[in-house]
Every structure is written in structure tokens, then in C-alpha cells.
Chains A and B, each alone.
Chain A
Amino acid sequence: MNPLRTVAQPVIIAEPAYLLKRGIAALVSDMVRTDVLFIDDMGELNSHLDKNKVHAVFIDEQLLTDKPSTDLFFQLKEQTLYVGLSANPGQIRHKNKFDAVMDRSGTKEELVAAVESVLQPGTGESDKAGSLLSSREQEVLKEVALGYTNQQIAAKLYISRHTVISHRKNITAKLGIKTVSGLTVYAVLNGLIPKDQIR
């Protein structure tokens, strides 16, 4: 087994539900060696973020109800990764401010994938672009490039929509490409789909 990567700056978990916060902490500790802090008071959290460098914050969207403290929370801290926790990740508020969103009721596999996509993003070590992706990720990418929605891809590949979303997050983290049109260009350049199949 590879030794765990060490992350010098701590990870903060801002989640009032005890089991959930312990669970996320366990997932994080499985993936990287780092300090984990639990802060679920927005005032305390903002003051900590103001004074310290933080690698990532996992925050429950329920804590983001008060506008001034939410604005302060999202003030540009470019090196910090923001992960939102929501019961309904598709509808999470401030969606575009998060680097990743986790489903509070997700399966272990989905949660691991989400934590991985944030803490172990692809570093582009391999020169062979196509080999960066797992075969499942390549299948999902192909469908994305062909213009199918997450729901349609889930039905075609017999997986849940959340799993499709997890794969897509991983694809984006590995390739450094986020938009459907960008992924389509990648898929054609790498021979995953022929050019004439682009919608």
C-alpha cells in the first residue's frame, strides 16, 4: 500500500451531526495524513479561516443561512477547497462556490469518491492522456461527450445518478476539464468518440 500523502494544512469539518462528522473525518484520515478540526460555529470558523491556512473545509449547507457570515466564509481563500454537504446536492445553495458537493445520505462508495476528488485530484503524472481514466470513467466520459444527461447516463450504464456525478467529478479532477464542451473536445482528441457523432 502506498504511504499516505501528507497535507501540511488542516482539514476543517463544519458539521453539527456527530456521526456524519466522525464519518467524514474517518474518510479523510484514510486518504491523507493531516490534522482534522471540528468547528461548527460560523463565527469561530470564519475567524479561524481568517487567521490560518486551511487545506479544505467540509461544511453542512445548514450552517450557511446567515448572509453576512456566509459571505465572509466564501471570501476568496484561493488555496482552500470548499466541500458542501447537502441532503439534496443538486439543489445546494451557493453551488458554484463549492469545489465539490457531497450527498449527506450517499453510499460509502459515493462519499469516498467525493472525498477523493477533493483530496486526491489527478496530478497529471501520466503522459498518456487516455490511460489517466479508469474504463468506467471513460465510458461515462463518452456518454457525456455524446450529449447525454446524468440521468440518461445512469440509465444506460445501470448505475445511480450519484455515481455518475462522482465519476464526472473524478474525470474533471483528473483531466482538468470541467465543461461538457471541453470534455467533448478531449473525447474526440483521444479517440473516445468520432467527431461526426458530436451533437
Chain B
Amino acid sequence: MMGKNTVTSDMKMAEVIHMNYLLLPVINRFGIKLGFGDKTVEKVCRDHGLNLSFFLDIVNTYHDPSYFPRDKMRGYPATLIIDYLLQSHEYYNRTMLPEAEGMIEKLVSTCSGHCEDLRLIEDFYRKYKEELQNHLSGEEIHFFPYVRALVEGKTGGKDLETLRREYNFSYQAHADEHESVIAKLVDLKNILIKYLPPDYDVEVCNNLLYWLFIFEDDLKDHERLEDVILLPVLENIEQQFRNQQ
């Protein structure tokens, strides 16, 4: 599955960024900052005490949509995956969502005509932001701790159904929330691209759209990691737990 554009351990980290600058925030999530000099990916990972193979798989799944070694990735510890997902959450909360909000506010403040229409889009975004933040914090409060409790055996002698209830976790609700947060982001993009009233600042809106495209790609990769890797890993853990009981 290794294409010529795949990130490999012997590449220089600087080359990786030249190859795809959109990987910067992904690399940051591993605690890596710029100024790598001529260090290779392997060296940078070693310096930061990272799991090299996991780093490469994450970076490559973001870089190349066709790269997705499911079976291999399902072999990583659930807690390693969760730690990474949490870093992404922080990035969405700290950077992605507020930046987009700032751009939308600017779009409204620079409006020269149908400002009511733009305010409607702003309202839509604000509600979306709230929904996504609720979803993310729900995962942090319920879903991830549920997985951790099973992995660490901190289950207090309870059965799976009780635990799921206590941690408020259900596969269906999780899937529905994922579907909704992606669908609304896609809707927002389409509303802007196809139906935006003409009295808006072109530059501000273009920047907003670039940002939303990047956000959508990031969020989709993030949710794919949860849905296609973490959830099957969790199912295995649940099965083992049942077998032990």
C-alpha cells in the first residue's frame, strides 16, 4: 500500500511538511513543533517518545485517502488511539471552531446589504459549534472513560449493560451524532458555495471556505479513526470482557 508519496520513517520531517503542509496540525497533536532541522521522522518520534508506527499510520491516513491499513491499526492499544483523538478534540475546540466563528463574525460585520441572511448563517454556525462541542465533550466524559474502564479492568464487578448505561454509551447514538456533525458542516459549505447572497466580502468568505474544507477533511479522518478503528477495537474488548465474566 506504500505509494511514492507515503510518509516513511527515513524521510526528513521538514520534507513531510513540504510534501503536505496540511499535516502540520496533525503532527502538532503528537506534541511535535516546528524547527526539526534535518531530523528524520524516526529521530523526531524517538526524541518525543512516540510510537513510530502509529505516528506514520496516522500521518499517512490524513495525507492519502487511500491509505488505511485497518487490520494493522486495529492492533494498536485503544488508549493510544484515545490519547490521539483527545489531542484532536483540543485542536477543534481551541483552534478550528473559534477561528471559523471569527471568520463568520467578520463576514457579518463586513456585510453591505442582506445582512439578515448572513446572520442566519451565523446562527446556523453557532448552533453547529455547540452541537459539535457537546458531542466532543460527551465522548470525553462518557465514551473514552468507558473504553478506558474496560481496558484497565476498573469495572467494579458490573456487567457490560450496566457499564454502558452508567457511561451513557450506545453504538447507535454515537453513529447518529457522527453523521449529524459531518452533515451539518457539509451543509454549511454548500449554503455558502451555492446560495450565499451576493453582498459579502469575497476575501473573508473565501478564507472561511478554505478553513471549512480543511476542517471537514480533518473531522472526517478523525471520525473514520473512531468508527472504523476504535469501535471494532472496543467490540473486541467488550467480547473479551464478556468471556471473562
Q: Interface of A with B (CB < 8 Å)?
A: 71, 75-76, 78, 96, 124, 129, 175-179, 181-183, 185-186, 188-190, 195
Contact = CB atoms under 8 A, between A and B. Distances in A.
Contacts of B195: 129, 186, 189-190
Contact of B124 (A76, A78, A175, A182): A182
Contacts, number: 61
Question: In terms of DSSP, what is the predominant structure of the interface of chain A?
Answer: helix
A177 B191 CA distance: 8
A78 B221 CA distance: 13
A183 B184 CA distance: 10
A183 B183 CA distance: 12
B190 A185 contact: no
A75 B73 CA distance: 14
A195 B68 contact: no
Contact of B187 (A71, A178, A195): A178
Contact of B120 (A76, A175, A183, A195): A195
A189 B232 CA distance: 42
A188 B194 CA distance: 14
Contacts of A75: 70, 228
25 contacts: A76-B224, A76-B228, A96-B175, A96-B176, A96-B178, A129-B195, A175-B194, A176-B190, A177-B187, A178-B187, A179-B180, A181-B124, A181-B127, A182-B124, A182-B183, A182-B184, A182-B188, A183-B187, A188-B120, A189-B117, A189-B120, A189-B191, A190-B195, A195-B116, A195-B120
Nearest to A71: B232
A103 B128 CA distance: 31
5 cross-chain pairs, A with B, having the tightest CB-CB distances, nearest first: A182-B187, A176-B190, A96-B179, A178-B183, A177-B187
Nearest to B123: A185
A189 B188 CA distance: 13
Contacts of A182: 124, 183-184, 187-188, 190-191
Contacts of A178: 183, 186-187
Given A76-B68, A185-B191, A189-B191, A179 B117 contact: no
B190 A177 contact: yes
B65 interface: yes
A175 B120 CA distance: 18
A124 B197 CA distance: 16
B163 interface: no
Interface in B136-187: 175-176, 178-180, 183-184, 186-187
Interface string B100-143: 00000000000000001100110010011000000000000000
B38 to A, nearest CB: 36
B121 A185 contact: yes
Contacts of A176: 186-187, 190, 194
A180 to B, nearest CB: 10
